[in-house]
């Protein structure tokens, strides 16, 4: 059965945008728990113009209560990606960004799905954290719906619900909770049966999860409350049939929908003319979530908007690909300031890392923008743990970077950055290098070798240009040194000790 649902923008139609030069286009693909969403746009006079949208229902979160993507959902997801691949076949890698949300955060077989997806879609899949998802949702809505006062944005997905509070285009509070329309529907409304007892249990469960954060969310005193996602849009259209555009939703209207569902007693009795058939299996859970959120946060009215995560991803991709602004660099700089890192030492390490990459980057396939960014981040942040203690600094640095909120970073990017800073010196645990979907084991191992060498060459914390060049001979890095360090007995001893640690990864250093 074809479950796709294509949305064409009013600016153009499929044939028009496909005929134009795709090198001008940017594309953002959101792999959500309910649906996969693609948006294609271009930058016109400094503004992003969406020109094409494509959605395919996947229901990836069905069966997620058992912690894995089901066989059926797995196949639906891959089939959808094969469709998206045709839309993106002529795009340059740097002009496409693919993000995955709750289901691929939680599923224990996410690595297998991403590896299979790589065979169909030649772009990295970034699994983003819940807070990062909330930030990008806020960014997407802020671009589409300008507003100067404080506002709250609520996004009910299939697997999770995100909350973002902010002013203008700046989010100030980001929250993600693991209750979504599909998850709640499967947990409380098995086989489509609807009773008052089940509905009340579902609402109470959501309230209990949200209650520890409700005071913080209410304290924002939002002057505007917006709801985004397919679930809220479907509920708004159910309330306002035959009405187009952004629609309002009142709490009393949600209560009326609840009463209507309770009278029907079964999802099978919902009129498909009122609710899109593919949305019916998750609509009761979505309604329970929205009622619980509105009651817990004292929200009497909100407006649905069409902009969401994909628009935020597209906007940030344009900032990076067209305007050369990468929020990840800003995040690195902010953390360096917060933890008062030694800027001069960070610059020395980075200079050595760049020299090492001149020699091994091409052969080791480390010259991609994302890998260079992570090595730049590790050069600047490997000593953030100094604020805790200089003893075991690498452990403290790894812990801080593993647990900090780092805007712009995917989950795997943040974990790799934390790993580089955890193992910038002393013993290496090779077992920690294997559990990544976005990076392979060999790439991570080589990145560790590079950052360790950059730190090792600057152990004296004095500015010098000791490393003349690096070359490869099998798994051995041949170092050509110059100046006083070329004959340093201390450096020779440090390299001998370092080789004992690097042997775990299968590499060694030799002074040529």
3-state secondary structure of 248: strand
User: What SS3 string covers 274-323?
Assistant: CCCHHHHHHHHHHHHHHHHHHHHCCCCEEEECCCCHHHHHHHHHHHHHCC
Give 24's pLDDT tier (boundaries 50, 70, 90).
confident
CATH number of 4-128+312-319: 3.30.420.40
Q: Rounded to whole angstroms, how far apart are CA atoms 256 and 153?
A: 23
Of the ranges 23-32, 62-71, 155-164, 320-329, which one carries the lowest mean pLDDT score?
62-71
φ, ψ dihedrals at 442, nearest 5°: -65, -40
Tell me the average pLDDT across 3-11: 40
Model confidence at 12: pLDDT above 60: no
- Where does the chain hold its CATH 3.30.420.150 domain(s)? 146-306
Q: Rounded to whole angstroms, how far apart are CA atoms 330 and 327?
A: 5
C-beta separation of 160 from 150 below 8 A: no
pLDDT at 218: 92
Give 6's pLDDT tier (boundaries 50, 70, 90).
very low
Of the ranges 37-41, 145-149, 186-190, 331-335, which one carries the lowest mean pLDDT score?
145-149
pLDDT at 23: 56
3-state secondary structure of 76: helix
Q: Is the alpha carbon torsion for 181, 184, 185, 186 positive or negative? A: positive
Model confidence at 285: pLDDT above 60: yes
Residue 86, Ramachandran bin (φ over 0: left; ψ between -120 and 50: alpha; else beta): alpha
Model confidence at 123: pLDDT above 60: yes
pTM of the full structure: 0.86
3-state helix, strand, coil in the chain (%, to 5): 50, 20, 30
DSSP state of 193: B
Give 17's pLDDT tier (boundaries 50, 70, 90).
very low
Token reading at 304: 């649905």
Buried b (16+ CB within 10 A) or exposed e, 427-441: ebeeebbeebbbbee
- Where does the chain hold its CATH 3.30.420.40 domain(s)? 4-128+312-319
pLDDT at 8: 39
pLDDT digits (tens, 9 = 90+) for 69-80: 989 999 999 999
Count of C-beta atoms within a 10 Å radius of residue 109: 15
pLDDT digits (tens, 9 = 90+) for 415-428: 999 999 999 999 99
Element (H, E) at 498: helix 489-502
Give 1's pLDDT tier (boundaries 50, 70, 90).
very low
CA nearest neighbour of 382 among 471, 450, 463, 467: 450
CATH number of 326-462: 1.10.3210.10
DSSP state of 368: S
Q: Rounded to whole angstroms, how far apart are CA atoms 44 and 66?
A: 46
3-state secondary structure of 404: coil
Model confidence at 4: pLDDT above 60: no
- Where does the chain hold its CATH 1.10.3210.10 domain(s)? 326-462
First to last CA, the chain: 64
State percent of the chain over pLDDT 90.
71
Tell me the average pLDDT across 486-496: 90
pLDDT digits (tens, 9 = 90+) for 306-336: 888 999 999 999 998 888 889 999 999 999 9
Looking at CATH, the fold of the domain delimited by 146-306 is given as Nucleotidyltransferase; domain 5 (3.30.420)
pLDDT at 13: 42
Strands 35-44 and 47-57: antiparallel
Helices marked H in 145-268 — which ranges? 181-188, 196-219, 230-239, 251-264
pLDDT digits (tens, 9 = 90+) for 433-473: 877 888 889 999 999 999 999 999 999 888 788 899 999 99
Q: Which residue shows structure tokens 């089901």?
A: 70
Model confidence at 14: pLDDT above 60: no
Of the ranges 254-258, 335-339, 407-411, 430-434, which one carries the lowest mean pLDDT score?
430-434
Model confidence at 482: pLDDT above 60: yes
């Amino acid at each position: 059965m074809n479950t796709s649902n294509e949305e064409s923008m009013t600016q153009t139609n499929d044939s028009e945008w496909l005929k134009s030069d795709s090198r001008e286009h940017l594309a953002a693909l959101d792999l959500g728990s309910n649906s996969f969403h693609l948006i294609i746009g271009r930058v016109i006079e400094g503004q992003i113009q969406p020109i094409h949208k494509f959605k395919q229902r996947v229901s990836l979160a069905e069966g997620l209560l058992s912690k894995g993507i089901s066989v059926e959902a797995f196949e639906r997801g891959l089939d959808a990606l094969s469709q998206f691949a045709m839309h993106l076949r002529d795009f340059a890698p740097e002009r496409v960004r693919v993000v995955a949300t709750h289901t691929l955060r939680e599923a224990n077989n996410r690595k297998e799905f991403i590896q299979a997806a790589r065979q169909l879609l030649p772009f990295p899949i970034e699994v983003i954290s819940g807070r990062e998802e909330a930030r990008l949702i806020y960014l997407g809505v802020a671009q589409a719906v300008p507003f100067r006062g404080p506002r709250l944005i609520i996004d009910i997905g299939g697997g999770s619900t995100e909350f973002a509070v902010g002013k203008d285009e700046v989010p100030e509070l980001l929250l993600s909770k693991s209750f979504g329309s599909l998850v709640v529907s499967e947990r409380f409304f098995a086989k489509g049966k609807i009773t008052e007892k089940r509905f009340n249990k579902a609402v109470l469960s959501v309230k209990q999860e949200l209650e520890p954060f409700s005071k913080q969310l209410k304290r924002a005193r939002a002057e505007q409350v917006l709801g985004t996602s397919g679930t809220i849009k479907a509920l708004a259209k159910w309330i306002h049939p035959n009405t187009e555009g952004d629609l309002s939703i009142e709490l009393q209207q949600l209560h009326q929908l609840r009463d209507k569902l309770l009278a029907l007693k079964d999802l099978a009795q919902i009129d498909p003319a009122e609710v899109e058939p593919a949305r019916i299996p998750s609509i009761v859970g979505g309604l329970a979530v929205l009622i619980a959120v509105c009651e817990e946060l004292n929200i009497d009215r909100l407006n649905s908007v069409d902009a969401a995560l994909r628009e935020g991803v597209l906007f940030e991709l344009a900032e990076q690909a067209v305007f050369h602004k990468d929020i990840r660099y800003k995040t690195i700089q902010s953390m360096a300031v917060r933890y008062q890192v030694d800027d001069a030492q960070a610059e020395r390490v980075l200079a050595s890392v760049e020299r090492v990459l001149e020699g091994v980057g091409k052969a080791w396939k480390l010259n991609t923008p994302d890998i260079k960014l992570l090595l730049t981040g590790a050069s600047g942040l490997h000593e953030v743990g100094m604020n805790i203690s200089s003893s075991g600094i690498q452990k403290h640095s790894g812990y801080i970077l593993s647990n900090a909120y780092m805007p712009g970073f995917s989950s795997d990017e943040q974990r790799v950055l934390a790993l580089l800073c955890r193992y910038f010196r002393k013993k290496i645990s090779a077992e920690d290098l294997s559990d990544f979907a976005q990076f392979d084991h060999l790439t991570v191992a080589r990145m560790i070798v590079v950052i360790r060498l950059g730190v090792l060459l600057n152990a004296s914390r004095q500015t010098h240009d000791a490393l003349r060049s690096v070359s490869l001979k099998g798994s051995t890095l041949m170092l050509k040194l110059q100046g006083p360090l070329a004959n340093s007995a201390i450096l020779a001893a440090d390299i001998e000790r370092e080789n004992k640690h690097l042997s775990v990864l299968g590499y060694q250093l030799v002074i040529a």
